[in-house]
Chains A and B, each alone.
Chain A
Amino acid sequence: ELKVEQNPLFLSMQEGKNYTIYCNYSTTSDRLYWYRQDPGKSLESLFVLLSNGAVKQEGRLMASLDTKARLSTLHITAAVHDLSATYFCAVSNTDKLIFGTGTRLQVFP
């Protein structure tokens, strides 16, 4: 059974600081996703990672994938308040998604 673990569950960051969210999964998968969810809103797709060593960047967020370690990271650079949200990683299992627990990120001045 595919399991996805995400940590930390909660992250309080000061503006301007850097931090990394980790996503581990238990069995081989062909793709990994990162989503953002604002309170009361749906899921917004951030990144799709398809292969070992894949790295994608958008603004202050950078995601990477190590399929051998079954690990993906979401790195936040110089955090700003607008990044406050909950971030989910999800791993594809025969096309359906298995989600991590989510990381609730709060960025304060």
Chain B
Amino acid sequence: GAGVSQSPSNKVTEKGKDVELRCDPISGHTALYWYRQSLGQGLEFLIYFQGNSAPDKSGLPSDRFSAERTGGSVSTLTIQRTQQEDSAVYLCASSFIPREQFFGPGTRLTVL
């Protein structure tokens, strides 16, 4: 079945470069979430989109991080001027509020 998909699956970049991570949610799901999983910090919430409401950006760690969701579907998480501490697995999830969240396979980001 069509689950949450993310691309790329792996991304290696140099410190200081910008990266874009993409998430395609499950069709019909109104809510989309980004989380980050790293060894030091565990699983952390980053940002949440629900319908046409203003996104909840309370988990973004710095102003280098931003995300948008176009047409209520696909989302892109952008990290500008990447730092080594940004290395992590970035997970996207979607749900039909207020139900359980279904997670994508993640993008493993490595900043050299």
If A96-B45, A97-B33 touch, whether A42 touches B91 (CB-CB below 8 Å) is: yes
* Min CB gap A3→B, angstroms: 12
Closest to A94 in B: B56
Closest to B48 in A: A96
Q: Which residues of A contact B33 (CB under 8 A)?
A: 96-97
Chain A interface extent, by class: 20 to 34
Interface string of B53-84 (1 = CB under 8 A from A): 00010010000000000000000000000000
Total contacts A to B, CB within 8 angstroms?
A: 48
Closest to B102 in A: A45
B50 at the interface (CB under 8 A from A): yes
Which residue from B42, B59, B99 sits with its C-beta under 8 Å from A96? B59
Complex Cα distance A13/B35, Å? 30
Which residue from B44, B45, B100 sits with its C-beta under 8 Å from A48? B100
- The B interface, classified by DSSP as helix, strand, loop or mixed, is strand
A95 at the interface (CB under 8 A from B): yes
Evaluate contact between A99 and B106: CB separation under 8 angstroms.
no
B97 at the interface (CB under 8 A from A): yes
Complex Cα distance A31/B48, Å? 17
Q: Which residues of A contact B93 (CB under 8 A)?
A: 43
Q: Which residues of B contact A31 (CB under 8 A)?
A: 98
Evaluate contact between A95 and B106: CB separation under 8 angstroms.
no
Evaluate contact between B100 and A99: CB separation under 8 angstroms.
no
Q: Which residues of A contact B99 (CB under 8 A)?
A: 48
Complex Cα distance A99/B98, Å? 17
Complex Cα distance A88/B93, Å? 15
B interface, CB within 8 angstroms of A? 31, 33, 35, 42-45, 48, 50, 56, 59, 91, 93, 95, 97-106
Closest 7 interchain pairs by CB? A99-B43, A43-B103, A96-B45, A42-B103, A42-B105, A48-B100, A96-B48
Task: Given contact pairs A31-B98, A95-B98, A101-B42, enumerate 18 new A-B contacts (beta carbons under 8 Å).
Answer: A35-B103, A42-B91, A42-B103, A42-B104, A42-B106, A43-B91, A44-B103, A48-B99, A90-B43, A95-B50, A96-B33, A97-B33, A97-B43, A97-B101, A98-B45, A99-B35, A99-B42, A102-B42
